[in-house]
Structure 1
């Protein structure tokens, strides 16, 4: 493989949640200077050739226990967190959106919030980081969907109806290992209306965290490519958060995509969160995803700043090591470039427009 770097577009991070959780403002400033902890800041992104990604707004559950600690030993079956109230979720969502726009304003053009594939490509050409506004858990949106219209006008282009907790739209899959994702009911009528409205607004509907019945409802309703921004293969690691072969086949039939999740509990055959997880586990999932989805349907969805990731990667700066492992495993440069950047841009162009 040539030595010139391959740029990465990443399907999921929780960096806004990390910045939101630091009232001192040090993490915000550290995003530009580095050294303030976390997986993504501009210096580490430049070092790892991370050129863009979906920045998740995640309204956190109160008193949420550490998932990494709870998933350190298997088997486990964690209870679903309690539903969030609308007012608290709306406040957190607006405050995290403000952090994203303040990053853009503070960056002097080095960090851009993008609303189309063309804007992502323009940011790449300018050497700027291309950020896309995403929501993980739509508790800030009421059944009238008025907030969805407001958020779309502000730049929202990707939305996961649920996190791993219930809301008025549907049911998230609980964290269980070993387990099927077939747990609970499908979308509510409000959830079906949300999917239709997202299609009309050309907002990507993220299947990550939905249970199997909810996945099937989206697959029946949606006229857009089916996308799971940060999921892995259930056939390799039988975790409730991973996708079965039947689900992967439905995604392929729609022209959709799955972003490989770096969270070690979804990668390892034992289902445990353990940073001593090698590239071999990631490659097993990539190989399986490629076998079911084809070369156009696989990308990266790291879960940076939201999960315990392999120590061999460490942060965004470690992405070249993963790409090198892919090359050493026999992935040609053209395939690595598709997984790293091209496949995301293709599905985003087909979902929310050129």
Structure 2
């Protein structure tokens, strides 16, 4: 076995032991717990090289070694396979998500499930509207000169706007307007839909022109800026269990989760090929997350990622299990949304 391959095995053993025990790992323990096929002296030499290369480090108070961010990175990059989920875990995912009533319910269940499977903080992004399409536009008359405009996207998001019309509106006109809007916008990507409004103003039947003109501004607003993208977060209490992994303070990480912007940016940067992304420690490029790892993946239907979901936790986490759980949950959420 080449030296590099053997050292990678030693690094893997250190990561596994440190993740499960939270104790720095010594060469004697490695020799006893793992069948590395070499003498303790060779393991000591390998550990010295790994330390020199920056993959492991020695905490001040201990004779053992712990992985660095760079060490975890190499471990994750060289994973031969993600730990497959057990049949029981797969059934649990199906049972937990089956019967969800609507998009909000699906996403709420998803964060609870992810937090239970991984024992980390779970984060799910609402489907990004830029990737959504119009399923239906509903127009409801709530008073003689007041309408409610409701946008329903193909991802199950619902946005609504109340608008005052300068003219009294009769019921037949409302029905005609509803038909015209759906004929024009149904199936259109939100990214393109607002561009159809000017043409609609020109081509609307004469009896609807004043009404279309009255709703056009609200229509553009609803299609272009329908509510900010947001996150559902669950399992924050899991951080209390691993507070020891954040020696300074948990406060910056909790504040980042509460403010959402930083985490949203990370979770929404999904790989369109469906790969699970792992950002470790300093790779997160934001001080609040420099002691954390983020494991994320896109979820959606077909080859279209509608948003991202994932977990946030300490760098000392079970990467193979967590990556497999994140991927499996994302696939199942994608199936549900495709069927709904």
TM-score (norm 1): 0.24
Q: Which has the larger radius of gyration?
A: 2
Hey, which of these two has a bigger chunk of helix by percent? 2
